């Protein structure tokens, strides 16, 4: 079977690596583009995979690759832009549709504390992530959960979905299931402001947010006296009963590590970096993060 792969980011790299090792298919072309707003967009890894397997790689987020009629399927992983319609196209979306259609669904799921995440293979239609489902694969998440580890789990789900599509297509038995529109929920795109921690939220949600915005993303942030700090890791602090709760205030400092008041509970900031990426140590108690 001859396929083309449109792959972006770490999940695209992991997916491509697995498909290139699948002896049921021949990857005839790869298309990719550098991903923005990430620490490591895996572009170099995609390039190396194509080079090692002698697969042509094309650049560009938009436009048609002009694939010939001999291509059976086009797998699309991690793509963030609309593509020209093609009946051979299979889109892989990292949620269990119809829940979390849209953008950054894994980040949203982890912030919410979902205990189940997964991947859906679907046919694209004009409405975002609303096409018929070809395959789904779920993974269980236990917390605390770093997004790096969850993405590795989802890589297995991508491969499982692709395997089902390949086998069913080859057997002529690939079935489509319509989504229930009444069960659809959505995940909104995330911008720079969405990396800023809201200290009025409860400590558990803030911890999940910090863990969900780590590698390959640049990390959760907070502001301190005109500077921006990146929070890479936190731990639960004491659940103190403040008569007047003022989220964002530093409650204590020990060996340069701060404990911060949250909307409920407190958090110990165990890994904080300054604007140069260097470890940051708190020297004063009477400061407030915002």
- pLDDT value for 192: 92
Q: Can you tell me the mean pLDDT for 166-193? A: 95
- pLDDT value for 268: 98
Q: Can you tell me the mean pLDDT for 52-64? A: 84
Give the CA angle between residues 92, 195, 79 to the nearest 5°.
20
Q: Can you tell me the mean pLDDT for 1-11? A: 91
Q: Which CATH architecture has domain 192-273?
A: Roll (3.10)
Class for domain 2-187, per CATH?
A: alpha beta
- pLDDT value for 64: 65
Burial class (CB in 10 A: 0-12, 13-18, 19+), 255: exposed
Taking 90 as the threshold, does the pLDDT of residue 41 lie above it? no
9-30 residues labelled b (16+ CB within 10 A) or e (exposed): bbbbbbbbbbbbeeeebebbbb
Read off the pTM: 0.92
Contact 156, 191 (CB under 8 A): no
26 Cβ neighbours under 8 A, 6+ residues apart:
1, 2, 3
DSSP state of 171: H
Q: Can you tell me the mean pLDDT for 144-154? A: 95
Taking 80 as the threshold, does the pLDDT of residue 46 lie above it? yes
Pairing outcome for strands 2-7 and 133-140: unpaired
Beta strands in the chain, from DSSP E residues, in sequence order: 2-7, 26-32, 57-59, 73-77, 89-93, 101-102, 116-122, 133-140, 186-187, 220-224, 227-236, 250-254, 257-261, 266-273
- pLDDT tens-digit profile of 106-143? 999 999 999 999 999 999 999 999 999 999 999 999 99
Query: What is the number of other CB atoms lying within 10 angstroms of the CB of residue 156?
Result: 14
Domains of the chain: which residue ranges?
2-187, 192-273
- pLDDT tens-digit profile of 186-242? 999 999 999 999 999 999 999 999 999 999 899 999 999 999 999 999 999 999 999
- pLDDT value for 213: 97
Q: Can you tell me the mean pLDDT for 20-38? A: 88
DSSP state of 7: E
Taking 70 as the threshold, does the pLDDT of residue 156 lie above it? yes
């Amino acid at each position: 079977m001859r396929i083309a792969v449109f792959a972006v980011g770490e999940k695209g790299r992991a997916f491509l690596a697995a498909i290139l090792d699948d002896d049921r298919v021949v990857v005839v072309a790869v298309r990719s583009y550098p991903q923005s707003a990430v620490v490591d967009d895996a572009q170099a890894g995609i390039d190396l995979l194509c080079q090692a397997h002698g697969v042509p790689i094309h650049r560009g987020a938009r436009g048609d690759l002009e694939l010939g009629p001999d291509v059976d399927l086009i797998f699309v992983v991690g793509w963030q832009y609309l593509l020209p319609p093609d009946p051979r196209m299979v889109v892989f979306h990292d949620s269990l549709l119809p829940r979390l259609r849209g953008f950054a669904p894994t980040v949203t799921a982890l912030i919410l504390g979902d205990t189940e995440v997964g991947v859906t293979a679907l046919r694209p239609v004009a409405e975002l992530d609303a096409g018929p489902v070809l395959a789904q694969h779920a993974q269980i998440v236990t917390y605390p959960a770093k997004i790096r580890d969850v993405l590795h789990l989802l890589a297995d789900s991508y491969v499982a979905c692709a395997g089902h599509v390949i086998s069913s297509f080859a057997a002529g038995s690939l079935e489509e299931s319509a989504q229930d529109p009444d069960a659809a929920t959505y995940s909104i795109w995330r911008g720079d402001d969405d990396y800023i921690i809201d200290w009025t939220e409860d400590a558990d949600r803030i911890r999940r947010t910090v863990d969900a915005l780590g590698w390959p993303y640049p990390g959760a942030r907070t502001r301190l006296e005109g500077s921006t700090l990146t929070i890479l890791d936190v731990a639960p602090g004491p659940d103190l009963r403040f008569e007047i709760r003022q989220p964002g205030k530093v409650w204590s400092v020990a060996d340069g590590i701060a404990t911060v008041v949250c909307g409920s509970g407190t958090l110990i900031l165990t890994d904080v970096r300054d604007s140069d990426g260097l470890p940051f140590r708190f020297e004063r108690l009477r400061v407030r993060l915002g």
